[in-house]
Amino acid sequence: MSDRYNKENENVHTDFAERMTYGEYLNLDELLAAQNRLSSHHDEMLFIIIHQVSELWMKLTLHELYAAIDAIRQNELQPAFKMLARVSSIQKQIIQAWDVLSTLTPAEYMEFRDQLGQASGFQSYQYRMIEFALGYKTPHVLKIYKKNPELHKQLLDSFESPSIYDATIEKLSEAGFNINPDLIGRDYTQAYEYDASVEAAWAKVYKNVDQYWELYQLAEKLVDIEDSLQQWRFRHMKTVERIIGHKKGTGGSSGVGYLKKVLDHRFFPELWDVRTNV
């Protein structure tokens, strides 16, 4: 067994004097040096890593969402489906992260919570950009990022850009559905709101799946994403409630009260209503 093991591994590269290593490719020195605790408490490491990992997943989510929006607008729906399916898989990972954070007890968190100051997940700019990409535009949150002009511009560009649902509604119109013309090329800085013409279009799609197969697939991919995002929001709310109860959030929000309120928001309202009315 020992000889076989050595023979199978005899071609493994071990000389990296002039070659790039795995750690160098991934910038692991920088990545693994970024967990800087502000307290001496053991569990602060958990808190930092969970949030950093979630931000990495959100970066990939945005990468896929932006590419999917471009693909949809260029009428390349099959590649978009692959990207959106990947987003749904990413969301599962982020949802499960709450299970790990839930191992943090209230007493443990209070040992280092004051060290956070006013820093809060409420300020996650990537999460805001995901909301913008899905059509939920909230102008007041842009104020948070004025401290960094470059980041503020990035957020503003995202805020002013069409969402994936705007791109989808354009496809419905191009397919011959009688879409409210005010929705095409609308002011993208406004949060999307329900429109009867869009629900009527989706009703026809769902009643004629074979005829509108790609639009039906696109609709279901969007439902998958909103479903998972709402599950993420719910797990966030329950984890916060489990750890800090109904205390105010470090960022000044009402905490659990605010998180419960956002659960009522729908990104793609017609895709939910059509299930009742079709």
- Binding residues for substrate, by number, are 47-51, 109, 113, 250
Is there a contact between 252 and 118 (Cβ–Cβ < 8 Å)?
Answer: yes
- CA-CA-CA-CA torsion for 172, 174, 175, 178, nearest 10 degrees? 60
CA neighbor of 221 nearest in space, from 134, 132, 130, 98: 134
Distance CA 273, CA 278 (A): 9
Q: Which amino acid is at 55?
A: E
Binding-site sequence positions: 47-51, 109, 113, 236, 250
Binding-site sequence positions for heme: 236
CA neighbor of 52 nearest in space, from 124, 148, 128, 145: 124
CA neighbor of 60 nearest in space, from 68, 50, 70: 68
Q: Which amino acid is at 253?
A: S
- Provide CB contacts within 8 A for 231, sequence distance 6+: 91, 95
Angle, helix 77-101 to helix 213-244, in steps of 10 degrees: 10
Structure tokens at 276: 């009742």
Phi-psi region of 255 (alpha: psi -120 to 50; beta: other; left: phi over 0): left
